[in-house]
Structure formats: structure tokens, C-alpha cells
Chain A
Amino acid sequence: ETGVTQTPRHLVMGMTNKKSLKCEQHLGHNAMYWYKQSAKKPLELMFVYSLEERVENNSVPSRFSPECPNSSHLFLHLHTLQPEDSALYLCASSQEYRDPEGLGLKGTQYFGPGTRLLVL
């Protein structure tokens, strides 16, 4: 519905498994994001890929590793996760552009439906 798709929608994995989350945007955007949404906590930005920057939140454990092969696809590779990693993982994309009046970068993020991850 929003042009950003995520698969799988639900995932149950053990702590020793390796899995990957996939995100695809059909909006022609030039930036993509991974967020983690946990109950009772603010939305946490994990990774950003854009023409201007690649950002990694230093507080994200190394058991999460992103991959962005092109501007339309974003992956989140998971390995040896912990039960506290159970959450809703949201992908988003935006078209970042320079404001013609010199106000810097602008863009609106559009989100996918999320992957509900449960780590046992």
C-alpha cells in the first residue's frame, strides 16, 4: 500500500539461527532505513543508507548487519540473536533532495509493514 514491502512479515528463530529480513521500495527513493520498534520504547533508528551518508547506530549489536546492494533493496542479516531482540523491525525509504531555497536536505520517510521477529 505504501510502496515499501517487507518479507517475511513474521519470523520465529532460535538464538543459533541465521536469517535475513528483506525490504524493497518501489518509489524510486534514494535513501533507505532500518528501525527497531519495541514495546514501551521509542522508535530506534538502526541503519541508514542514502546518497549522502551511511549511518550505523553505534548502539546496535554486531549480530545485526545491513546490506544495501542497490537503491531499491535493503537487507538486515541476523545471526545469534538474543530474546531481547524480539521486536517489530521496520524498513523505510525517502527521497532526499536539496531544498532550492538553501534549507538543506528534505525528505519524507515512508514505512513498510514491518517484520515481527520473535527470538526463542
Chain B
Amino acid sequence: AQSVAQPEDQVNVAEGNPLTVKCTYSVSGNPYLFWYVQYPNRGLQFLLKYITGDNLVKGSYGFEAEFNKSQTSFHLKKPSALVSDSALYFCAVRAPYSSASKIIFGSGTRLSIRP
């Protein structure tokens, strides 16, 4: 069975410092991996995805994520955090050959950037 874990409920970072939001997964075969961001009172907004190819994926707002097959991880990163990056971040995984209904979302990590 596929699963995804976000081990940190909350991540606190000072503005200007690099940030990392962790995600690990378990799936048979090569996974499809996604990151979404949710601002207060809004829906989930797509940030980036990994399907195949380069392990480093670049997305919106300066975010990037690195697919690490050996560690089964897909951590979200940004070199320099902004206060406006404060939001709830969700990692999601979908197994290859699976239907649309089989995407699994993590429990979310709240990112707080202090000025």
C-alpha cells in the first residue's frame, strides 16, 4: 500500500534563511510526487511535481524539491525564505499505473517564517 509521511507538524525559519520541509513516501514502482501549498482560507495550490527525469524539480515561487529514490524522500526546499511563504504545505504521492483516486496526501506541515 502506498503512503506518504510529513514528519514535522511545524517548521520555523527566520526570513532569509534556507528552508526544508520533509516528505517521505512508500509506493511500489517509481512514484509520482507532488507538493501543494495552502494559504489561510484558500484551496490547495499546486507547487511542483516529479514524474521522471531530473531528480531536482523546480516549481513556483522559488521552491524546489529533490527526489531521492534510495531514501524514498521528496523534500521541499527554498534557498531564502520569505515571510509570505508562511502557509500549510502538503506532500502527495501517486503510484504509477494507478487511477486518479489513488493519490495520497500527507498530513501537512505548517511553515512559519519569522521576520
Contact = CB atoms under 8 A, between A and B. Distances in A.
Interface residues of B, number: 25
Interface stretch (B12-20, B68-76, B99-107): B99-107
Contacts of A104: 96-98
Contacts of B49: 108
A109 interface: yes
A52 interface: yes
B7 to A, nearest CB: 14
Interface of B: 30, 32, 34, 36, 41-46, 49, 51-52, 90, 96-101, 103, 105-108
Interface of A: 2, 4, 6, 31, 33, 42-43, 45, 48, 50, 52-53, 55, 90-92, 94, 96, 99, 103-114, 116
